[in-house]
Amino acid sequence: MLRDGRGYVLYAFTKDTSGRSSCAGACAKAWPPYIVTSSVVAGKGVDQRRLGTILRTGGSRQATYAGRPLYYYVGDRKPGQILCQNVSEFGGLWLVVHPNGTLVR
């Protein structure tokens, strides 16, 4: 599954449309967007061509993978922890992302 540079797991939200985030307000408090301030660089096993960013309301840049905006789960408190996989909240499912770009159920 995808992780950030610190080893924290990244999730995707099935309610999002390609290139747009549907998660703001209370949703973004529970599922903080993976905000970046510079180019996103792929780690081992991750396809650099699938990495990108989108512009969020307010001007911050959120990392994407295979067109899907990426998020953390607020309850995951240590690297590698996955406490909210395949959960329905805020109108969609939250799923970890496989390095090939598919969502893992």
Give per-residue pLDDT as tens, 43-68.
888 999 999 999 998 899 999 999 99
Give per-residue pLDDT as tens, 75-97.
999 999 999 999 999 999 999 99
Residues in the chain, overall count: 105
The rounded mean pLDDT for the chain is 94
The per-residue pLDDT for 85 is 97
3-state secondary structure of 26: helix
CA 66 to chain centre: 11
Closest to 18 in 3D by CA, of 87, 84, 65: 65
Domains in the chain: boundaries: 11-104
